[in-house]
Amino acid sequence: MVAEVIINSNARALNKVFDYEIPKELEGQLKIGSRVFVPFGNSKEPKLEDGFVINIKSKSDFVKDEKTKLKQIAKIDEEDSLTPQNIELAKLMANKYFCNVSDCIKLMLAPGTGSKVKANRVHEKKLNFVYLAKDYDEIIFELENAKRKSQKQISIINFLKDNLGIYRPELEALLETTSSTLKILEQKGYIEFKEEQVARNPLEKKKVKSDKAKDLNEEQQVCFDRIKQDIINNTYSNNLIYGITGSGKTEIYMQLIDVALKQGKSALMLVPEISLTPQTIDRFIARFGKSIAVLHSKLSQGERFDEWQKIKKDEVKIVVGARSAIFAPIKNLGIIIIDEEHDLSYRSEMTPRYNAKDLAYYMAKQNSIPLVLGSATPDIVTFYHDKQSQLGLEKNKVTNLFVLTKRANDAILPESKIIDMRLELAQGNKSMLSEELKSAIEKNIKNKEQTILFLNRRGFSTFIMCRDCGYVANCPNCNISLTYHKYQNILKCHYCSHEESVLKVCPNCSSNRIKFYGTGTQKLEEEINKLFPKASTIRMDLDTVSLKNSHEDILNKFKNDKIDILIGTQMIAKGHDFPNVTLVGIVGADGELNIGDYNAVERAFQTLVQVSGRSGRGSKKGKVIIQTYNPEHYAIEYAQKQDYKGFFDTELNLRKLLKYPPFCDIILIRLNGTDLNLVKKVSNRIYQNLEGFLKESSNIIFKPVPAPVDKIKGNYRYRIIIKGKASQKMIEIINRSISEKSIGKSGVQIFVDINPSSLM
């Protein structure tokens, strides 16, 4: 017997299948998905490389006569083997997302086991906890009186006094200390590391009150009953729950998961990374106890590994996770749920650029189980397809649409108001806050109720410019302006993290009339502190959220310490439930409207609705104030009315007129490279290929042009756009047009995205 083996490598040239003979003694053991070690290379002493078996056949076409002999598989690694379903999915992904099978396989391996060298890998339960090795007072005495006093060492010891037995990487991250500092302390006999035989369970320390299923209301019941049948009967169905925030979607998800568990099956629930807050997880623990695996990017590699093993060994039946949890080795799946299905985080922006929603759809079909999508603002394309299939227009998609129209706990939707900032300006108000928002904040502070202020731009000002000659400070690596960060007093590039000091004199004309334009969260915070000096504020954006837990720390602080005002970007938009928030101020609603992407308006609408939904979730009625320079824009008007359907109809008509998804697909081919001429040359070559292949079709191919941001991190960026249908044939044509065979080895990176979230 012969096995087709794909070598586990990044090199494009290696993304080929090699035939190996299966030795007799391995024949019964070897399956599609087995991880194997094989001799590779032509030298006398070939190296052993690892790979995966993707097919088994009786003979090889490579063996043409008696003399040619195939090399033999050296050994199998049972522990890290995959299933035939994994391999099938990887092949499908490679084709659909224009990438290597081996890249897709990597996503399905237990975290930390991708490395070839076993010694470098994460091991089970081998954990380093840090303890004090002597009496605290004794250590501190010695440190304080040392010849060379180290403040860093003292702070570590002080920290350990209250946090004995902390996990070492956590200590390193929290105190921003290095391994070597800890080693010195160990050598001095002050601290010791202990390896403890405990599972790294991220939920371990949690104490959560248990909770029972609620009696569903009529709308919830209809939805639940229908999907329940599909779980019990093992039938595929594609379900969309469109329900306003707080309408009880999560309650339905939990009761459906319960049905699956009672059937002896498991459940996968995907949520956007940013919504995987302790609050969300607590709700699941309250209902199902701690037999839940949680997967997200903030877990340490070790924690991820443990969660993965628990799932693989079938010790947990519920997996809650971000995008990549779709690859978790779950057995006997009974339902897949995707909450906030419109969220962009389900798409991977790294190779392989997969969309977890597509894969969920495929897996639900494969396993004959229901797929449940939920959102208050469904993706226009999803909603369109579901409506179509309701009307019987798309026969191949079995879909059910469920609409939840009321808040489940009788909370009333907030009252929402639009403020025209042009009028404010005309009346001489140059501040970032309208008079109405100012007085609303003041009232809230007086009433001890909390306020959230949203502004989708971090930093202090958008860009800085010379008033005399118009010079703008740009990043040297990227063609994009630098953003001023006041507290650090530096200019930062938000694309590549390049930093430089603030200009005092224009490098172009030597003028010192440098002005800061635009606004950001830092500037807003400063203005709030000036206007309301007694109010407490906290800011949440990429700059304040960098430590492992500080996202939740900020939210907890806001909630528990009764901070008056939370200021933040996109990050504050979802997943949190603060009953005492009665005012949401959307300080700038226009930013997203003016980006040139075909779906920018949809994003803006979704954000507005989501942020508005943070107001008045408790017993007190909420208020929303939307400040804008485009008060008559339909996205703003419909967001104010929380009218998704109205927005949907208007937006869909526009898309039809302009030929955008769902009426056609936009295929973006992106080229990056350090050599501009080469990037141009390859772009033209691909364009010619495509033209040749697509000559007779109704697709439109646009000539290669520089991308809107035409240089990032020193890489020149070009793009080719095709408007048409992303059929299997089209995918094949693109694959052929960009293949090495047709354009040669070029050193230019090529990415293909279908209906990308951004054309930038």
Residues making contact with ligand ADP (CB under 6 A): 214-217, 220, 243, 245-251, 408-409
Question: What's the closest the beta carbon of residue 372 comes to ligand ADP, in angstroms?
Answer: 12
Question: What's the closest the beta carbon of residue 580 comes to ligand ADP, in angstroms?
Answer: 15
Which one, 414 or 661, has the nearer CB to ligand ADP?
Answer: 414
Residue 632 CA to residue 650 CA, distance in Å, equals: 14
Which one, 351 or 474, has the nearer CB to Zn ion?
Answer: 474
Helix axes 435-446, 521-531, angle to 10 degrees: 60
Question: What's the closest the beta carbon of residue 402 comes to ligand ADP, in angstroms?
Answer: 12
Both tokens assigned to 681 = 């040359």
Which one, 236 or 471, has the nearer CB to Zn ion?
Answer: 471
Question: What's the closest the beta carbon of residue 407 comes to ligand ADP, in angstroms?
Answer: 7
Q: Which does 309 bind (CB under 5 to 8 A by kind): Zn ion, ligand ADP, none?
A: none
* Helix, strand, coil content of the chain in percent (nearest 5): 35, 25, 40
Which one, 294 or 404, has the nearer CB to ligand ADP?
Answer: 404
Question: What's the closest the beta carbon of residue 59 comes to Zn ion, in angstroms?
Answer: 54
Residues 6+ apart with CB under 8 A from 374: 240, 241, 242, 243, 249, 252, 253, 337, 338, 339, 340, 341
Question: What's the closest the beta carbon of residue 512 comes to Zn ion, in angstroms?
Answer: 9
Q: Which does 508 bind (CB under 5 to 8 A by kind): ligand ADP, Zn ion, none?
A: Zn ion
CA 532 to chain CA centroid, nearest Å: 35
User: Is 324:359 a contact under the CB 8 Å cutoff?
Assistant: no
Q: Which does 208 bind (CB under 5 to 8 A by kind): ligand ADP, Zn ion, none?
A: none
Q: Which does 220 bind (CB under 5 to 8 A by kind): ligand ADP, Zn ion, none?
A: ligand ADP
User: Is 358:350 a contact under the CB 8 Å cutoff?
Assistant: no
Q: Which residue has the tokens 């070009």?
A: 718
Q: Which does 506 bind (CB under 5 to 8 A by kind): ligand ADP, Zn ion, none?
A: Zn ion
Residue 647 CA to residue 653 CA, distance in Å, equals: 10
Q: What is the DSSP letter of 72?
A: B
User: Is 502:490 a contact under the CB 8 Å cutoff?
Assistant: yes
Which one, 676 or 731, has the nearer CB to Zn ion?
Answer: 676
By three-state DSSP, how is residue 544 classified?
coil
DSSP secondary structure letters along 726-757: --HHHHHHHHHHHSHHHH---S-EEEEEES-S
Question: What's the closest the beta carbon of residue 478 comes to Zn ion, in angstroms?
Answer: 3
- Count other Cβ atoms within 10 Å, centred on residue 700: 12
Which one, 409 or 674, has the nearer CB to ligand ADP?
Answer: 409
Both tokens assigned to 123 = 């091991």
Residue 570 CA to residue 340 CA, distance in Å, equals: 14
Q: Which does 478 bind (CB under 5 to 8 A by kind): ligand ADP, Zn ion, none?
A: Zn ion
DSSP secondary structure letters along 668-703: EEEEEES-HHHHHHHHHHHHHHHHHHTTTSS-EEPP
Which one, 559 or 670, has the nearer CB to ligand ADP?
Answer: 559
- Count other Cβ atoms within 10 Å, centred on residue 11: 9
| E strand or H helix that includes residue 606 | helix 600-612
User: What is the b/e burial string over 514-540, where b = at least 16 CB atoms within 10 angstroms of the residue's CB?
Assistant: bebebbbbbbbbebbeeebeebebbbb
Q: Which does 466 bind (CB under 5 to 8 A by kind): Zn ion, ligand ADP, none?
A: Zn ion
Question: What's the closest the beta carbon of residue 739 comes to ligand ADP, in angstroms?
Answer: 45
Which one, 362 or 495, has the nearer CB to Zn ion?
Answer: 495
Question: What's the closest the beta carbon of residue 376 comes to ligand ADP, in angstroms?
Answer: 7
Q: Which does 214 bind (CB under 5 to 8 A by kind): ligand ADP, Zn ion, none?
A: ligand ADP
Question: What's the closest the beta carbon of residue 470 comes to Zn ion, in angstroms?
Answer: 7
Which one, 618 or 706, has the nearer CB to ligand ADP?
Answer: 618
CA 654 to chain CA centroid, nearest Å: 29
Which one, 412 or 469, has the nearer CB to Zn ion?
Answer: 469
Distances (CA, A) of 143 to 155, 158, 394: 10, 11, 74
Residues that bind Zn ion (CB under 5 A): 466, 468-469, 471, 475, 477-478, 493, 495-496, 498, 506, 508-509, 511
Question: What's the closest the beta carbon of residue 284 comes to ligand ADP, in angstroms?
Answer: 12
CA nearest neighbour of 200 among 167, 233, 178, 230: 167
User: Is 300:200 a contact under the CB 8 Å cutoff?
Assistant: yes
Q: Which does 251 bind (CB under 5 to 8 A by kind): Zn ion, ligand ADP, none?
A: ligand ADP
Both tokens assigned to 426 = 């005309």
Single-letter amino acid, residue 241:
I
Question: What's the closest the beta carbon of residue 248 comes to ligand ADP, in angstroms?
Answer: 3
User: Is 268:336 a contact under the CB 8 Å cutoff?
Assistant: yes
Question: What's the closest the beta carbon of residue 216 comes to ligand ADP, in angstroms?
Answer: 5
Question: What's the closest the beta carbon of residue 378 comes to ligand ADP, in angstroms?
Answer: 13
Which one, 433 or 493, has the nearer CB to Zn ion?
Answer: 493
Question: What's the closest the beta carbon of residue 487 comes to ligand ADP, in angstroms?
Answer: 35
User: What is the b/e burial string over 376-408, where b = at least 16 CB atoms within 10 angstroms of the residue's CB?
Assistant: bbbbbbbbbbbbebeeeeeeeeebbbbebebbb
Which one, 496 or 760, has the nearer CB to Zn ion?
Answer: 496
| E strand or H helix that includes residue 8 | none
Q: Which does 509 bind (CB under 5 to 8 A by kind): Zn ion, ligand ADP, none?
A: Zn ion
Which one, 247 or 755, has the nearer CB to ligand ADP?
Answer: 247
Residue 251 CA to residue 272 CA, distance in Å, equals: 17
DSSP secondary structure letters along 271-314: --GGG--HHHHHHHHHHHTT-EEEE-TTS-HHHHHHHHHHHHTT
Q: Which does 408 bind (CB under 5 to 8 A by kind): ligand ADP, Zn ion, none?
A: ligand ADP
CA nearest neighbour of 690 among 713, 722, 650, 663: 722
User: What is the b/e burial string over 186-199, where b = at least 16 CB atoms within 10 angstroms of the residue's CB?
Assistant: eeeebbeeeeeeee
Helix axes 249-262, 278-288, angle to 10 degrees: 40
Question: What's the closest the beta carbon of residue 512 comes to ligand ADP, in angstroms?
Answer: 53
Which one, 269 or 528, has the nearer CB to ligand ADP?
Answer: 269
Which one, 113 or 250, has the nearer CB to ligand ADP?
Answer: 250
Which one, 419 or 473, has the nearer CB to Zn ion?
Answer: 473
